[in-house]
Structure 1
Amino acid sequence: MAGKNDELPVAEDMRSESLAAKLTKLYEVMSPAGEPPSDAVVADGIFEKTGVQMSAPYLCLLRTGKRTNPTVQNVQAIAEYFGVPASYLIDTGGDAAVESELRLVKAMRDNGIRDIATRLSGLTPESIGNLAGIVDRLRQLENLPPIGPSDETST
């Protein structure tokens, strides 16, 4: 049940560029079609999933940083629609875990990466480790920054 505080602005000093940038990233990364959805599609999806009604122009204003003071209810609904914690949208800076998941989702949309990941199924941990070493070397040859393992367990 919606409370009285749900209609209050989240924060008077919320940095519009951080909210706008995060929304833009969510539009780009979390779209099942691979292309960013329209504001109308997102508004409809938010209503279908949460029952919270927002207009497409309002979402556009949030995404472009022209509106910087969403209500708690709106932030929660947007977060629920995109499957991220509301704190990701509210907090300045990034949530490392959410950012990591978004990078993974974006990478898995690439057919080549998805194909390689599928081929890893059934390989031993040793073989997967060997392949990771090869990929690390290829990244180095292409002057790309190193990417550490997703879980820091020792072997």
Structure 2
Amino acid sequence: MTSTDPRSGPAGRPLLRRFDRRLQGLISAMHPDERTRPGYARLAKEMREATGGSISGTYLWELATGKKRNVTLEQLDVLAQYFGVPPEYFLSDEVAGRIDAQLRLAISLRDTRVRNLALRADGLSPEVLDALLAMVNEARKFQRLSPVEDT
């Protein structure tokens, strides 16, 4: 195989490239503030306590940074159980896409102002809701934020 062969190395293996990003995303979603985010040893301890499964802090760091890519089924199960996702999240683009959309919503709803905006919109007519969505979309453009896909 040559280096341009899509099957060679991690660059040619999309599943391997995505695993570490998905794991990092789950850690960030659970602990959004990097300043208070526990280290990998603490996360591993929390995982053991929550699931009864075993994964070391070092190995968790290696998985999250892409240094190691040979996760066992037991470790995959521990990760999935701890983060509340199906094991397929790490393996399937379709499943990951659905769960990532739910995670984005959950993360957005952590902000009290976003929650209050959503609660105040409840009960408004469809026409008023469409007008509010148009205003929010324009505000996102004005602040040079990426568009949000409708769910």
TM-score normalised by length of structure 2:
0.73
Aligned mates of 1:111, 1:22 — CA distance in 2: 26
Count of paired positions: 138
Instruction: Give the residue type in structure 2 aligned to 1:42.
Output: L
Aligned mates of 2:24, 2:111 — CA distance in 1: 19
Match of 1:60 in 2: 61
Aligned mates of 2:131, 2:93 — CA distance in 1: 38
CA 1:95–1:124 in 2, change beyond 3 Å: closer, same or farther?
Answer: same
Aligned mates of 1:84, 1:43 — CA distance in 2: 17
Which blocks of at least 5 consecutive residues in structure 2 are unaligned? Answer: 1-12
- Structure of higher RCO (CA pairs closer than 8 Å, 6+ residues apart): 1
Aligned mates of 1:87, 1:98 — CA distance in 2: 10
CA 1:36–1:91 in 2, change beyond 3 Å: closer, same or farther?
Answer: farther
Aligned mates of 1:137, 1:66 — CA distance in 2: 42
Aligned mates of 1:136, 1:86 — CA distance in 2: 35
Residues 16 and 66, structure 1, Cα contact 8 Å, conserved in 2 = no
Q: What does 1:36-51 align with in structure 2 at a 5 Å threshold?
A: 36-51=37-52
Query: Which has the larger displacement, 128-137 or 109-118?
Result: 109-118
Post-superposition offset of 1:50: 1.9
TM-score normalised by length of structure 1:
0.72
Any idea what SS the aligned residue of 2:147 has?
coil
Point out the structure with the larger helix share: 2
Residues 88 and 95, structure 2, Cα contact 8 Å, conserved in 1 = no
Aligned mates of 1:41, 1:128 — CA distance in 2: 44
Q: CA RMSD in A?
A: 2.8
* Fraction of identical pairs, as percent: 31
